[in-house]
Amino acid sequence: MDIRPSPHVYILHNFTASPETVFDAWINPVVARCWLFASPANKIEVIRMEPCPGGQFSILEWDGHEHIDHFGEYLTVEPPHRLIFTLEVPKHFAGQTVVNAIIAPLGSGSKMTFLQSGVDREVTDGPWRTMFRNLNTVLNAPSVFASPQARRPNARLFPNTKVAKHDVENLIHFNPAGETPQRPRRHS
């Protein structure tokens, strides 16, 4: 394993959403597709997540010219406050980094302390800050990502999702119609 030391990317970001909602945005593929490595200039084509310690994830992006795979392994998954995972994006930086997202209540919202080690801050600091602003927008879009209290009782937020029983309570795994769930794997 090639985990490089400092410099670190260190970001404090406040959200109007609860810690539970912010945490879920990291591990719910339907929501993550809208903000995690997403931008107006690209398309997230495939996203697979197995958010439990030792589980893997892969987010395959198409930037209009080439596929870019973002992949890694979940090291710590402690809803709704702590998520630690490895991250590799060979098309953007060499080696493997470690990402820590610590989420705490702050008034009626939450505060996230984000730390990424093993990559030069000039490479990832700006993109992460943009992603967190995008996440704010996604979480504040009441028509799609309304709080459970704002939705009809017993209404499914995403009809093509199913709740999976894992070590992490109430995980939602996205499986397009006809697709068999399978362990995430790196795309090439």
Residue 25 placed within a domain: yes
List pLDDT tens digits, range 83-113.
999 999 999 999 999 999 999 999 999 999 9
Q: 70 or 152, which is more confident?
A: 70
Joined tokens for residue 19: 């810690």
CA atoms within 13 A on the CB side of 65: 2
Pick from 30-39, 62-71, 170-179: least confident: 170-179
pLDDT band at 175 (very low <50, low <70, confident <90, very high): very low
For the cut 50, the answer to whether the pLDDT of residue 59 exceeds it is yes
Residue 2 placed within a domain: no
So what's the pLDDT on residue 138? Answer: 92
> What's the whole-model pTM score?
0.74
Residue 55 placed within a domain: yes
pLDDT band at 141 (very low <50, low <70, confident <90, very high): confident
Residue 36 placed within a domain: yes
Q: What is the mean pLDDT of residues 48-63?
A: 96
Pick from 31-35, 50-54, 82-86, 147-151: least confident: 147-151
Q: 38 or 185, which is more confident?
A: 38
Q: Which domain does 38 fall in, by range? A: 8-174
Residue 3 placed within a domain: no
Pick from 64-78, 79-93, 141-155: least confident: 141-155
Residue 188 placed within a domain: no
List pLDDT tens digits, range 111-136.
999 999 999 999 999 999 999 999 99
Residue 119 placed within a domain: yes
Q: Which residues contact 33 (CB under 8 A, 6 or more apart)?
A: 44, 47, 174
For the cut 70, the answer to whether the pLDDT of residue 58 exceeds it is yes
Domains in the chain: how many in total?
Answer: 1
For 110, the 3-state DSSP assignment is strand
Question: What secondary structure letter does DSSP report for 98?
Answer: E
CATH number, domain with residue 166: 3.30.530.20
Joined tokens for residue 36: 């995690």
Residue 170 placed within a domain: yes
